[in-house]
Amino acid sequence: MKVVMAQCNFTVGDLPGNQALIEAAMQRWGQQADLIVFSELAVSGYYPMDLLDRPSFIHAQNAVLETLKAKTAEISAAIVVGAVSENPWAGKPYHNALFVYQGGLEVFHYAKKLLPTYNIFDEARHFEAGQLPGLWLYQGQRVGFLICEDGWNHVSDPSYRIDPVDQLAREHLDLVISINASPSNEEKLQERIAHFSRISQRCDAPLVYVNQVGGQDEVVFDGHSFVLNALGQPVACLPGFSEAQVQVDLSDIQAQPTHAVATYSEAALMFQQLTLGLRDYVKKCGFQQVVVGASGGIDSAVTLALAVAALGPDAVVGITMPARFSSSGSVDHSLQLCAALGIPCHNISIETEFTHSIQRFVESFGEQPSGLTQENMQARIRGKLLMEYSNHFGHLVLSTGNKSEMSIGYATLYGDMNGGLNVLGDVYKLEVYALANYLNQRVEQAVIPSAIIHKAPSAELSEGQTDEASLLPYPQLDAIVRLVIERDLMSASEVKADLDILASVSDEEIHRIARKVDQAEFKRRQAPPILRVHRRAFGFGRRLPIAQRFQPVWLLRHA
């Protein structure tokens, strides 16, 4: 059996566009392949959220399905396409399903049995779990289907009441096909291959794993589709972070050599995640260009460099906006950076506007604005200026806060938090440095001036301010907030590494920082979407009340 893995970049709600991607693959492979496999919810895009509550959306999706089904009359291959289907039984009105079309007919239908409802996933909100077996007979072969989470019961937490893999493993399969919209996060690629390798061994059958690729709001789907032989060895691997298609002949699969699986350094993986996520967010939202406030610091430098890598220098503009507390470096380094990136950099002093704001405050309220008020004033004047540029020239503003800052609310709401997308909001501060070094090494000539990498981080909103004096040294700060946010998803050795970093930090200091994480929830609720690279990011994957008074005893040192 010749099977095509069609790893496409679908867009949520773009029914004509997604249809065109599917039809192009049918056109390309339809006369030579036996089966063309598309990813989960290929027609609607993953994840349509409450678009699923609109009858007009389902109606339009079903019209596309009818067309695709009819077009299989013109090709010899069958197609496997992920789509929403109607649930004829009690419960939620729809299934997250797949259809197999061949010769103009629907020849098989399978509904996902495990509906992830944790972290970024909301499937129980819209779907009812399928009950019927995913077993299809094709060309004399016994084919078992899984849809994404169906494959993950015996490792994922929380666990489920049933295990679709157990059910398939008893069926003497000749082939397992898994269609997926599996997001990228640290370690996920290795986990995924190792996990499905065990499934192919358990089922004693080759396994075809097709994943979506592309950015969708916060989430980046990495592709990396693969075929495993019955020993669980990869014999075909599609690239990550780009569209790709390949046909694999399963009839001689045992004779095929094993294929090396892609590996990435931590920084290289983040680079791929962030550039794809950034590019797709900008393009899928209909923007052409972005603008970033260049502070002379590492976060804005890395954001600008990632934007240039994602969109090209013609699509990126920097604006440096010095005021009285800005070091000379904040302008000079920004100009150097933008020159190295080949992008324009506007240099606009906000000092007059800052002075005027203070005067107006004094005249209005009869007292000097507090230190905090003055700090936020500067950030908000800059944020306003970026939005003026955006409104006038049409560029999307990217905000530059990193995960460590966003954790503890070290950012000004309606100031430096302004933007349509926060590129580094899931990247801890030390990782921002690793990304900077990676960005410099991947090109011939370093793009981020070493002065930016080596200066002490500072918001430069008051005299002599540095982040680490206001907060904690970043290695320790990163360790605390990572434990607060992600500890339940970390391995024992990762937890131990962070606890070791905190050996010399007092409990009081740890609690002071940990409490800031809860206190800053109100700011994050109004933050732009954050590109997700870790196991748990701020945004849809982490839902907390604002008006709440839990005083946690953060037992960070204990299990």
Among residue numbers 249 through 278, which ones bind a second copy (CB under 8 A)? none
- Based on the shown chain and the rule CB under 8 A, indicate whether residue 118 belongs to the binding site for a second copy: yes
Give 3-state DSSP helix, strand, coil % of the chain, rounded to 5: 40, 20, 40
Which of 133, 313, 420, 475 forms a contact with a second copy (CB under 8 A)?
Answer: 420
What gap in Å lies between CA 433 and CA 326, rounded to an integer?
Answer: 21
Residues facing 227 on adjacent strands: 208, 236
- Based on the shown chain and the rule CB under 8 A, indicate whether residue 416 belongs to the binding site for a second copy: no
What gap in Å lies between CA 435 and CA 403, rounded to an integer?
Answer: 14
Alpha helices for 152-187 (secondary structure H): 164-169
List the x/- string, 152-181, binding to a second copy by CB under 8 A: ------xxxx--------------------
The region, left, alpha or beta by phi > 0 then psi within -120 to 50, assigned to residue 347 is: beta
Which of 90, 255, 260, 503 forms a contact with a second copy (CB under 8 A)?
Answer: 90
Provide the minimum distance between the beta carbon of 501 and a second copy in the complex, in angstroms, as a whole number. 21
Using DSSP, state whether 292 is helix, strand or coil. Answer: strand
Cβ(81)–Cβ(43) below 8 Å: yes
Provide the minimum distance between the beta carbon of 266 and a second copy in the complex, in angstroms, as a whole number. 25
| Of 242, 238, 239, 316, the residue nearest 276 (C-alpha) | 242
Provide the minimum distance between the beta carbon of 116 and a second copy in the complex, in angstroms, as a whole number. 10
Distances (CA, A) of 428 to 44, 157, 391, 454, 476: 33, 25, 31, 17, 11
User: Which one from 8, 148, 237, 345 is the annotated catalytic residue?
Assistant: 148
Full DSSP string of 199-210: HHHHHTS-EEEE
Using DSSP, state whether 323 is helix, strand or coil. Answer: coil
- Based on the shown chain and the rule CB under 8 A, indicate whether residue 67 belongs to the binding site for a second copy: no
- Based on the shown chain and the rule CB under 8 A, indicate whether residue 216 belongs to the binding site for a second copy: yes
CB atoms within 10 A of CB 441: 11
CB-nearer residue toward a second copy: 248 or 417: 417
Provide the minimum distance between the beta carbon of 544 and a second copy in the complex, in angstroms, as a whole number. 5
> Which residues from 331-350 bind a second copy, rule CB under 8 A?
346, 348
By CB neighbour count within 10 A (0-12 exposed, 13-18 middle, 19+ buried), where does 50 fall? exposed
- Based on the shown chain and the rule CB under 8 A, indicate whether residue 516 belongs to the binding site for a second copy: no
Cβ(132)–Cβ(191) below 8 Å: no
CB-nearer residue toward a second copy: 142 or 535: 535
What gap in Å lies between CA 8 and CA 97, rounded to an integer?
Answer: 18
CB-nearer residue toward a second copy: 30 or 277: 277
Provide the minimum distance between the beta carbon of 259 and a second copy in the complex, in angstroms, as a whole number. 33
- Based on the shown chain and the rule CB under 8 A, indicate whether residue 281 belongs to the binding site for a second copy: yes
CB-nearer residue toward a second copy: 34 or 486: 486
- Based on the shown chain and the rule CB under 8 A, indicate whether residue 140 belongs to the binding site for a second copy: no
- Based on the shown chain and the rule CB under 8 A, indicate whether residue 45 belongs to the binding site for a second copy: yes
User: Which one from 69, 71, 112, 284 is the annotated catalytic residue?
Assistant: 112
CB atoms within 10 A of CB 131: 12
> Which residues from 347-376 bind a second copy, rule CB under 8 A?
348, 352-353, 356-357, 360-361, 364-365, 367, 369-370, 372-373, 376
- Whether 237 sits among the annotated catalytic residues: the reply is no
> Which residues from 389-408 bind a second copy, rule CB under 8 A?
389, 391-393
- Whether 148 sits among the annotated catalytic residues: the reply is yes
Provide the minimum distance between the beta carbon of 45 and a second copy in the complex, in angstroms, as a whole number. 7
Size of residue set near a second copy by CB under 8 A: 91
Provide the minimum distance between the beta carbon of 15 and a second copy in the complex, in angstroms, as a whole number. 7
Please give the backbone phi and psi of residue 66, each rounded to the nearest 5 degrees, phi first.
-60, -40
Cβ(157)–Cβ(117) below 8 Å: no
Annotated catalytic residues are 40, 112, 148
